[in-house]
Amino acid sequence: MANTPSVWTVLSMLEWATDFFEEKEIRSPRFSIEWLLADVLGVKRLDLYLMYDRPLSSEELDALRPMVKRRSMHEPLQYITGETDFLNVQIKVEPGVLIPRQETEQLVDLILKENKDKKDLNILDIGTGSGCIPVAIKKEKPDWNVYATDISQEALEIAKGNAAYNEVDITFFEDDLFKPQHIKPDTFDIIISNPPYIEPHEKDTLDKEVVEFEPELALFCESTDKMYKALESICRSSLKENGTVYFELHHELGTKVTKLFEASDWSSETLKDLDEKKRFFKAKKA
């Protein structure tokens, strides 16, 4: 067990909690306490290195202790502090939605760069979760008309809150990927989706903090074949002529999804993320 210091300073807390998290087998132990301590003190993580000798008040310690306890149980940092950075916006997250990933940031960045000179586009995000994708896009492109769907009413409420928090206007509606009711045909210039693409038999391969805390509805699907066929059907119906599809993929599913779309006469390709994995799928109506 890590030794308890006689006086709590920024440095002693960083050192003690790092040791404590290592004993609990917490991923990125030093980063974890930096994240939590910076949140309590209202500073950036890098600012902590300029205030090593600063003593922590009893109020600050009272705020930090339950956060450290939650992290020691492998709860994700973003759920503990309630928000995370995503590209150009701040996204509030709760256990009802998936925590935004860096790969999803890369997808949004790709979409914005490839369409940077286009005006007045209609955009649809299917399975929006926290709303991070449409919120970041609308913040960067206020003249675009942005729509987002999810099957979860809880997720939609969180997404609506994130739109309000970042002061962007997005149209949200509840819909089922397999039985869409509200997605109109020939409407959208771009359709985006980061769907649940992990099959149940892969559950044991996931980190504890993912499988025990993040929503199963946003992680798992019974059949990736059925899911991508449903997405292809929606996109074929709802995209305008020359419209574009962008998906985030499991890096092992690129070939499967490409074959599915090519069989329906799409022009498609897979694109690599910064780790050189085939993480993104792009298709245009042929």
**Residue-wise pLDDT tens digits, 79-125:** 999 999 999 999 999 998 999 999 999 999 999 999 999 999 999 99
Residue type, 222: E
pLDDT at 207: 87
Rounded CA separation 127/174 (Å): 9
pLDDT at 201: 79
Residues 94-127 as b or e (16 or more Cβ within 10 Å = b): bebbbbbeebbbbbbeebbeebeeeeebbbbbbb
Decide: residue 160, CB within 10 A, 0-12 exposed, 13-18 middle, 19+ buried: middle
Residue 125 Cα distances to 57, 128, 201, angstroms = 45, 6, 27
Nearest-10 Cα torsion for 271, 274, 279, 283:
-30
Residue 64 contacts residue 36 (beta carbons within 8 Å): yes
Rounded CA separation 77/174 (Å): 28
Total length of the chain: 286
Rounded CA separation 132/92 (Å): 9
pTM: 0.92
Residue 258 contacts residue 269 (beta carbons within 8 Å): yes
| Residue spans of the chain under pLDDT 70 | 1-2, 286
